[in-house]
Structure 1
């Protein structure tokens, strides 16, 4: 099977590696440096399993910037390009997906196109009308940053949908799901084949529930800190209820990363003309949490605030939309200088704040250090550290 993958982020690269164990895969990116790294069997992103598989496994994988050569004669073209949320349009920016579809339409491609990018509810049906000559299906991903390949090797479920007005594409959806299962290490995997619009809803509602859970435990923590209560004691008490569970309950500075902020806003936008209260509250809650955290730090009257890591999660180099950036903006608005320790950042300045890789000088220059997640790096300056991390895990 010949497969092309557009995009080499967490979604694209993890899928390309998974599929290249048993198929010929060409992955496409517009950044030559990322293409060169992949062809040298080096990962352009931080992900333990991606790094291991690229360097150690036998993969039929090639990276290129030549999209047309990759898409030519491909049985499947997987689109995993970024879809950032556009606040002005109140909608995902899906132009990167359409750029790939424009090329395929121009080529009169016979490939089955699998969209892996996150998209609004109802988007695939609209594409069928805009690109009637193309066969387009949608397969949402459920991956964690920094564990993307692991979550493909051991998936919680596989969802590959097909358009309700093209039932003949169900066979392609079943076949593609089989390719994903073939590359996985987990054997007993639940596979679903809903229509495309239902699959789009599955993705956005799943991520919004995760954001809800983060927001819930953060608001619990806000209440406890405001009232002088022990947050951990309360969380342990309620988490013993098996319906709630002792997981995904570690307070933070707010939900962030590439997916949850944009997916919750997109779902809220999709609720236009549909009654709702909860989805809007989840989005608003994250702003309230950042306000509260910033106020707690400002109340300490720091001379210099240190930000320990811009990244959202441990073992990750991704700090897109990280919640700590929102805290930084609020602190700096009060005229308080901020210094950032971020070893994965190439540069010395981030939005007019000094960035350093020198941990020792960072610790000495700052009188308050904020950390979304604790690290042994800070064990010798515990008296300076402000965090809401209770369990030293994401």
Structure 2
């Protein structure tokens, strides 16, 4: 949608349901700006489920396929990228590719060896937040072009024509440096989450007020007030997999910190589950699976790991998640009435506080001290 403001774009997806929704003017994601763009018809993207049509349409093929972390191989599953390139060059031999998917460090260099006939493969990492992906594209913090050839300037101009912040900084780097920027940036954010979670754990264990400590620290401009709200652990689609992938890239490099970030997240979840179990609950209600307000994404949300820990101790779980219209989630009962949910749970576990829980505040277990994401 970003590029569709000033470019002739065809969007392709293997999910025909998403294509059908977009053609009807409905966003398949909960994202305020995407919904607004569709409603106001600010983007001229056409959609198709015909791969050949998409490949033949444009000068560049932008790849934004998911690359989940595969625990069995300790590596991102990048097969979707290789599949797209392999099939595309059979249709259009001189196809040029811009990769937006998150990839391991050193991946593009290996990809070029795998596909020696492909002349242009440029990695341009995304830096997007849950629920505000289009906004973050319109007002990018930076545009990273993992290429230093003439094609790099062409790609940078392509994005600059369509962003709303024309002053967004552009950095041209080597392809491997661009891959490193993405993983190191997300791992630093995970570090901040883990740090303030461990601060909160310390405060809880010693009867201190986490909020006062964090506020006092935040007045230091070198620390600031971002990514400092305690939670059940970092989760979502990006941080868990990106930290694990960077740890894997460090396999032959001396380190302690990167591994500690991953381990800290597990320790935090153990601590949260143990604090809940101290109340000896038989039934625990989970209020929302989603990662943050204004999003419908709950992939790899930390609350799911808390649920698994509680289940392993024999606790019955019920879930309130209004974005899901089903009787169960992973075999756990979904309660669709908020009032019924409140009554059925002895303890309500909420990663983020919501005013709708104010009448049962005495039941709520949360570590959200700032009442925000």
TM-score normalised by the chain length of structure 2: 0.98
SS of residue paired to 2:113: helix
**Contact preservation (8 Å) 2:56, 2:92:** no
Residue 187 of structure 1 and its aligned partner are, at CA, apart by: 2.2
In the alignment, the residues of structure 1 paired with residue 24 and residue 271 of structure 2 have an alpha-carbon distance, to the nearest angstrom, of 46
Corresponding residue for residue 137 of structure 2: 152
- Does residue 45 (structure 1) correspond to residue 24 (structure 2)? The answer is no
In the alignment, the residues of structure 2 paired with residue 23 and residue 44 of structure 1 have an alpha-carbon distance, to the nearest angstrom, of 22
SS of residue paired to 1:294: helix
Corresponding residue for residue 73 of structure 2: 89
**Contact preservation (8 Å) 1:73, 1:111:** no
Corresponding residue for residue 277 of structure 1: 256
Equivalent in 172, 177, 194 of residue 151 of structure 2: 172
Quick check: 98-107 or 196-205, which moved more?
98-107
- Does residue 22 (structure 1) correspond to residue 6 (structure 2)? The answer is yes
In the alignment, the residues of structure 2 paired with residue 392 and residue 181 of structure 1 have an alpha-carbon distance, to the nearest angstrom, of 35
Equivalent in 16, 37, 42 of residue 58 of structure 1: 42
The unaligned stretches of length 5 or more in structure 2 are none
Deviations 1:51-74 (A, max 9, x none): 100111332211111111111142
Deviations 1:59-117 (A, max 9, x none): 22111111111111421100000000001101000011111011112124323200000
**Contact preservation (8 Å) 2:353, 2:366:** yes
**Contact preservation (8 Å) 1:257, 1:321:** yes
In the alignment, the residues of structure 2 paired with residue 65 and residue 258 of structure 1 have an alpha-carbon distance, to the nearest angstrom, of 24
Residue 184 of structure 1 and its aligned partner are, at CA, apart by: 1.2
- Does residue 378 (structure 1) correspond to residue 357 (structure 2)? The answer is yes
Corresponding residue for residue 281 of structure 2: 302
SS of residue paired to 1:269: helix
Deviations 1:224-278 (A, max 9, x none): 0011101011111111111101222100000000000000000000001100000
Corresponding residue for residue 247 of structure 1: 226
Deviations 1:317-346 (A, max 9, x none): 100000000000000111110000001113
Deviations 1:281-331 (A, max 9, x none): 000000000000000001111121000000111111100000000000000
Corresponding residue for residue 303 of structure 2: 324
Deviations 1:11-49 (A, max 9, x none): xxxxxx000000111111111110011111210010000
**Contact preservation (8 Å) 2:10, 2:57:** no
TM-score normalised by the chain length of structure 1: 0.93
Deviations 1:342-391 (A, max 9, x none): 01113111122101221010001001000001111111110000000011
In the alignment, the residues of structure 2 paired with residue 347 and residue 206 of structure 1 have an alpha-carbon distance, to the nearest angstrom, of 37
**Contact preservation (8 Å) 1:267, 1:279:** yes
Residue 161 of structure 1 and its aligned partner are, at CA, apart by: 1.2
- Does residue 99 (structure 1) correspond to residue 83 (structure 2)? The answer is yes
In the alignment, the residues of structure 2 paired with residue 393 and residue 161 of structure 1 have an alpha-carbon distance, to the nearest angstrom, of 34
Corresponding residue for residue 176 of structure 2: 197
Corresponding residue for residue 116 of structure 2: 132
SS of residue paired to 2:52: helix
In the alignment, the residues of structure 2 paired with residue 232 and residue 303 of structure 1 have an alpha-carbon distance, to the nearest angstrom, of 30
RMSD, matched Cα = 1.0
The unaligned stretches of length 5 or more in structure 1 are 1-16
SS of residue paired to 2:201: helix
SS of residue paired to 1:339: strand
Deviations 1:110-164 (A, max 9, x none): 23200000000000000111111212110000000100000011110000112xx
In the alignment, the residues of structure 2 paired with residue 384 and residue 69 of structure 1 have an alpha-carbon distance, to the nearest angstrom, of 55
In the alignment, the residues of structure 2 paired with residue 269 and residue 36 of structure 1 have an alpha-carbon distance, to the nearest angstrom, of 39
